[in-house]
Structure 1
Amino acid sequence: MFFALAFLSLLIERFTGYPNWLFARIGHPVTWVGSFIALLDKKWNRESDDFAKRKVMGMTALIVLLVVTIFLASLVQSVLFLLPLGLLFVAIVCAALPAQKSLEQHVEAVAVALETEGLEGGRKAVSMIVGRDPDQLDEAAVCRAAIESLAENFSDGIVAPAFWIGMLGLPGGAAYKAINTADSMIGHRNKRYEAFGKASAKLDDLVNLPASRLTGYLFVVAAVFVKDASPKRALNAIKRDAHHHRSPNAGWPEAALAGALGYALAGPRSYDGQMIEARFMGRGGRRDLTAADIRRALKLTRIADGLLIALFGCLVLVIGR
């Protein structure tokens, strides 16, 4: 049943996205979770407390967040399953969790901006999806930033929620999004969040691990269907580069995509005026990327997305026999 939920939710979100009119009226589950996290941060992350206490309070906040999220998601799922066509109604709710359509739109917007507005337009568009300093980016760097964001967010914004829906239903998918949102808000290595967000960052690394590996292999298979892409290069890049990434998970999708398409991604970059040293994913590949290369990466990702949907469809058929 949960594999069917993942399959249906991906299909629904692929074609409809999250409607703007619905967002205008009620917001989005991520915004609800974000508001709750902000409240916990305000109440429990006190600068006057020492490191150990802030660490404990961060763990407590994460537990409270997960208990509330899982309880509400379980309640919604239980009630909807009682209705005729309950599986479809739960799938419609689950469809709010993966972000296939919005990710594609945001990344494609960078390519469009570069083509129609030039470098300044590209910088502005890419600043919507990455945290690095856009003013420091030339055209090739804008393209690399967009493609890196595409690879990483395909893993944690699409494959991961679908995976956890498939494993644990709506409560699993909702819990994953709560953890991922907490990591993006408070899982930073800075003075305010080093202690309070430590538990969220560690748990996010753990729950993203299976999806990041699956994403890497989806890109390997997808490379078969893209002209001049190479499954062999993708596998080699995973083996050679993925474990050198600063993140224990992001290296898998970034290395696989870079290797498949012959790009060199990641490497040193600037955040908040500070240069961060990082290893390259897809070493030996091209760095001088253009808007056309963004579109090629989008093509690979669309195929990988189709493979993900097909995978859950096959699991439904196999288990349903």
Structure 2
Amino acid sequence: MNFAFSLPLALAAALLDVTVGYPQAVYRAIGHPVTWMGAFVAALESRLNRPTLAFEVGRASGVFALALYLGAVGVVAGLVSSLAPSGVVGFAALALLASSLPAQQSLDRHVLAVARGLEQGGLAAGRSAVAKIVGRNPETLDEAGVARAALESLAENFSDGVVAPLFWIALGGVTGGALYKAVNTADSMIGHKTERFLAFGWAAARLDDLVNLPASRLAALWLIAAAAVTPDASAREAWLTVARDAGRHRSPNAGWPEAAIAGALGLKLAGPRVYGDRLVDDAFMGAGRREADAADIIRALKLYRASCVIQALALAGAALIAQA
């Protein structure tokens, strides 16, 4: 890959995403690349997943489905990239396409809605807003639980919904970003540890863990750096909390940004949580207050926005070096 092209492309995608976002009119007319990928995954799963099969056979079927799916996404993305005209017009077209892959503006809007819900409508409104961004049952959450859920979602989605797509665009252009998004979409749909997906979704879940490893560490780094320039946040505590707690999280990736936010804001996140009817006994991230509130969500969003700026500056710097 030509980094003199892919790094500016990642920067342009980030700037377009945060300033323009994905137009609702376009979404209503043709959907979104993630919805197309999701439809493909659903079609493969309905045809190839047979929960009655032996575990090894179900896992092999899932590996085959994932390979078929990623191959198709890679071919389409590669063709689109190769057919783009050279020069400014082609770069702009690919940047617009790439800007559909990260979700800076969307994540900010959804997390802010939880804070506004708690402030203006109380627990019921907060639960309604947080239900749109988390997988756990919001009816089991009190106000502090709703706030913590929003903070944990912000942390995890900053890593896999913002940093990771831009990282893979920077490495592999539109094709790299599309393949990452395809893996992440497959994991969100079939990577669950339920009876139906335990075997078939095994490959998607393991690959998603792998491709998110670099981004989760970068996300923590951006958050630590942002804490140094964000009022009422501690870069030192963010660093110490990541070093102490990130590796104890059940996920190989989610603990890094969660620990960074918890440490920076003096909170205690994660810990035992209920997903559906299943209790997940996870380690705590941070050693601060457990009673989070709407004000903490606003503080976290300031940290998140500063992190996005720092990431954009890092991409700009890398692009300048690549052009030299």
Q: What range describes the TM-score normalised by the shorter chain of this pair?
A: over 0.9
**CA-to-partner distance for each residue in 1:216-237, whole Å, 9 max, x for gaps?**
0101100011112111111111
Whole-Å separation in 2 of the counterparts to 1:308 and 1:84: 24
Q: Cα RMSD between the aligned structures?
A: 0.9
CA contact (8 A) 1:55 1:198 kept: yes
Residue number among 288, 307, 316 corresponding to 2:310 in the alignment? 307
Pairs within 5 Å for 1:1-321: 1-82=5-86, 84-282=88-286, 284-321=287-324
TM value normalised by structure 2: 0.97
TM value normalised by structure 1: 0.98
**CA-to-partner distance for each residue in 1:91-149, whole Å, 9 max, x for gaps?**
11000000000000000000111111110010111011001111111101100000000
CA contact (8 A) 2:51 2:195 kept: no
Whole-Å separation in 1 of the counterparts to 2:51 and 2:203: 17
Whole-Å separation in 1 of the counterparts to 2:111 and 2:213: 24
Gaps (5+ residues) in structure 1? none
Q: Give % identity.
A: 50
CA contact (8 A) 1:44 1:57 kept: yes
Whole-Å separation in 2 of the counterparts to 1:69 and 1:276: 33
Whole-Å separation in 2 of the counterparts to 1:17 and 1:87: 18
Partner of 2:135, secondary structure, is coil
**CA-to-partner distance for each residue in 1:292-316, whole Å, 9 max, x for gaps?**
1100000000000001111111111
CA contact (8 A) 1:238 1:256 kept: yes
Whole-Å separation in 2 of the counterparts to 1:122 and 1:198: 33
State the Cα distance separating 1:289 from its structure 2 match: 1.1
CA contact (8 A) 1:81 1:90 kept: no
The residue type paired with residue 93 of structure 1 is: L
Moved more, 193-202 or 265-274: 265-274
State the Cα distance separating 1:84 from its structure 2 match: 4.9
Query: After TM superposition, which residue ranges in structure 1, 4 or more long, deviate above 6 angstroms?
Result: none
Whole-Å separation in 1 of the counterparts to 2:208 and 2:277: 26
Partner of 1:263, secondary structure, is coil
CA contact (8 A) 1:107 1:146 kept: yes
Whole-Å separation in 2 of the counterparts to 1:289 and 1:49: 45
Gaps (5+ residues) in structure 2? none
Whole-Å separation in 2 of the counterparts to 1:105 and 1:96: 16
State the Cα distance separating 1:13 from its structure 2 match: 0.6
- How many residues were matched structurally? 320
The residue type paired with residue 39 of structure 2 is: S
